[in-house]
Amino acid sequence: MMTTEDIYPSRTGGEATVIPRKDPIVHPRPQSLIGSEGSGESALAGGPLSRAQLDRYEESGYLAFDSILSSDSLREIQTRAQVLREAAVTESLTDPEIIREPGSDEVRSIFAVHENDSVFARQLRAHGLTAIAEQILGGPAYIHQSRINYKPGFVGREFYWHSDFETWHVEDGMPRMRAFSISISLTENRAQNGPVMVIPGSHRHYVSCPGWTPEEHYRTSLRRQELGVPPRSILTRLVEDGGVHSPTGPPGSAILFDCNLMHGSNGNITPFARTNLFVVFNSMENELVAPFSGQPPRPGYIGCRRPQKLG
């Protein structure tokens, strides 16, 4: 398996440190991929996002959309997400892609829906998501990971503060910060039911976390993450600099955020369930290498090791 230099070391047994980001946030896009079609800011930006949107993304690390799915697509995805959850519960499925809440049998996440389900496979290649991915990542992209995150009413547990890239780098071998995530609301994301929270500007700083990564860490971390979590002192500094934003919205709204943006969500003690479709796009030029933890790679349903270009 190919190896490469570790420019973002983490979990190497030392203290937590903050390392400046060494990668672009919006990656240069070759002129040959832009073409001459279109006009105005979108054409200048080389894709569906305007120059103003790209500037905002570079500054804060995320973009919020009021709607990113057609009404028909939203209904189909909502229905399918509910069918998958009900099957996991009523049939007591033990597929490894199905992650349960810590301390209960409630479904927390279902991974690899773009590979294992025809509805999601079709829908995630539509809606201009491929064009957005190529614009931000500077060229051809693939889906590194997909999952449905369920946060049922009263019992949905929190996702603690973390940078996804830190985990993907250490445990999957993602070499550089050339990926982003999009979280699409399938139910209303309210201020009270545990919506995604982000720390604007935190994507410019890589937090090298303490500790070591044990073998098969994913078996526990997908239920409750305790490694790859920055200390409170660093989180406090990041929040003092950037604050905490918590975009909310109706079904079909979405938040797109950089792979290194610090984010998390509170538990849900309301009656209102929160379900989001979470998709990660990675550059075809940023394929995974040997994990920097020195451990074997996590399974392919968590991090794709055989990428297929979108489009």
**14-44 per-position pLDDT tens digit:** 999 999 999 999 998 765 555 544 444 443 4
As for how many domains the chain has, the answer is: 1
Higher per-residue pLDDT: 91 or 27: 27
**305 in a structural domain:** no
Give the domain range for residue 214. Answer: 18-24+46-275
Per the listing, tokens 């239920």 go with 223
In a domain, 39, yes or no: no
In angstroms, rounded to a whole number, what is the distance separating the alpha carbons of residues 220 and 250? 31
Using a pLDDT cut of 70, give the percent of the chain over it.
93
What are the Cα distances from residue 112, in Å, to 38, 148, 221, 243, 286?
35, 9, 17, 32, 19
Considering the domain boundaries, does residue 37 fall inside one? no
Residue 154: inside a domain: yes
Each residue's pLDDT tens digit, 258-281:
999 999 999 999 999 999 999 999
286, part of any domain: no
Q: Is residue 191 part of a domain?
A: yes
Residue 77 lies in a domain: yes
Residue 188 and residue 274: Cα distance in Å, rounded?
7
Complete DSSP assignment for 30-49: -HHHH-S---HHHHHHTSSS
Place of tokens 């550059």: 283
CATH of the domain at 92: 2.60.120.620
Sheet holding 254-258, edge to edge: 62-65, 254-258, 179-185, 274-283, 141-151, 107-111, 98-100
pLDDT at residue 66 tops 90: yes
Task: pLDDT band for 106, please (50, 70, 90 cuts).
Answer: confident
d(CA 220, CA 64): 31
Would 285 be classed as within a structural domain? no
Half-sphere exposure of 40 (CA within 13 A, CB side): 5
What confidence category does residue 128 fall into, taking pLDDT thresholds of 50, 70 and 90?
confident
